[in-house]
Amino acid sequence: MKTEALSTALSPEQLDAIEEALRTAGFYILEHVITPEEAEYARTATLALAETDMARGAHHTYGNGNIRRVWALVGKGEIFRRLIQHPTVIAVWQRVLGPDVIASTFTANIVGPGAPAGGWHIDYPYWAMQPPFPDGFLTGQTVWMLDDFTSDNGATACIAGSHKTLRPPQRGEAEQLPMEVAVGSQGSVLFTNGAIWHQCLPNSTDQPRVGLLGMYNRSVVFPQEDMPRQLSEEELADESDLLKQLLGRRIPFRDPNHGLTWRRTATGFEQG
Ligand SMILES: O=C(O)CCC(=O)C(=O)O
Ligand SMILES: [Fe+2]
């Protein structure tokens, strides 16, 4: 898989290369987006949230109970609000999905020791759509590697070019095809085309593999999670315009407060 070292913002040439990779292979790994120390900080915060979910009995597991998901991260820590709007990630998705890009989900996927493969799939909204899918980009996935991702600790695997089929894999189909494993160092990011066939691999080590999954949509594609309501008006007040945009708080007809200022009349909508 292609990897690249990075210390600052992306150049237009790098953005060209990433866009091209998302169009052709369907994925791209960017190394050193954050430092290992920053990644470790986010990893500790993520594992603590997973423990909180467990203690509340509200945990979500799959993969024989060994893969854990933590949902709705935006309201659960400043570090997550920082990462969802990381300038490098936003530069990629604004290039591919438009300047008015929105977030679709921001969650953690923790592949625990002994976890089996997650299962080949495509990401939302594709799994909610009937094939053939429209060509082009509707959504993109961002996998934050909060650990080194290795071939034996549950790294993400992709089937290069599979997004071009414009359909999900049939049962057993992906297993017949060569896969590429997204190995990368702690603090790296894997970008994928949302329609690519992919999964997390089994974890045969004794440590959890912690990843954050940030999905971004074209603004007209309804988000997978309820993003607008993850922060209240008060919580949002001091946040950036970009975060408000990502949470869908800049789409007038979809804002939760929409109904307060607009009302339906016999002939349409009226403000007031
Ligand atoms: O955590 C990973 O490596 C990928 C998980 C994934 O594809 C998903 O949850 O949609
Ligand atoms: Fe996925």
d(CA 215, CA 107) in angstroms, rounded, equals: 9
> What are the residues facing 211 on neighbouring strands?
109, 145
Over residues 104-144, the pLDDT tens digits come to 999 999 999 999 999 999 999 999 999 999 999 999 999 99
* CB 198 less than 6 A from any atom of ligand 1: yes
Over residues 201-217, the pLDDT tens digits come to 999 999 999 999 999 99
- The ranges assigned to domains in the chain are 12-271
Burial pattern 250-261, b for ≥16 Cβ within 10 A else e, equals: beeebbeeeeee
- Tell me whether residue 221 is exposed, middle or buried, using C-beta atoms within 10 angstroms of its C-beta: 0 to 12, 13 to 18, 19 or more: middle
Over residues 65-89, the pLDDT tens digits come to 999 999 999 999 999 999 999 999 9
* CB 143 less than 6 A from any atom of ligand 1: yes
In this structure, the residue with its CA closest to atom 10 of ligand 1 is 123
| Nearest alpha carbon to residue 124 among 134, 135, 138 | 138
Tell me the ligand closest to 46's alpha carbon.
1
Determine the distance separating the centroid of ligand 2 and the alpha carbon of 36, expressed in angstroms.
24
Whether 2 shows a pLDDT value over 50: the answer reads: no
What's the pLDDT at 254? 64
Tell me the ligand closest to 105's alpha carbon.
1
CATH 2.60.120.620 fits 12-271, yes or no: yes
Determine the distance separating the centroid of ligand 1 and the alpha carbon of 109, expressed in angstroms.
6
d(CA 261, CA 79) in angstroms, rounded, equals: 33
Over residues 224-265, the pLDDT tens digits come to 999 999 999 999 999 999 999 999 988 766 665 666 666 778
Over residues 39-65, the pLDDT tens digits come to 999 999 999 999 999 898 887 899 999
In this structure, the residue with its CA closest to atom 4 of ligand 1 is 200
* CB 118 less than 6 A from any atom of ligand 1: yes
| Model confidence, pTM | 0.92
* CB 156 less than 6 A from any atom of ligand 1: yes
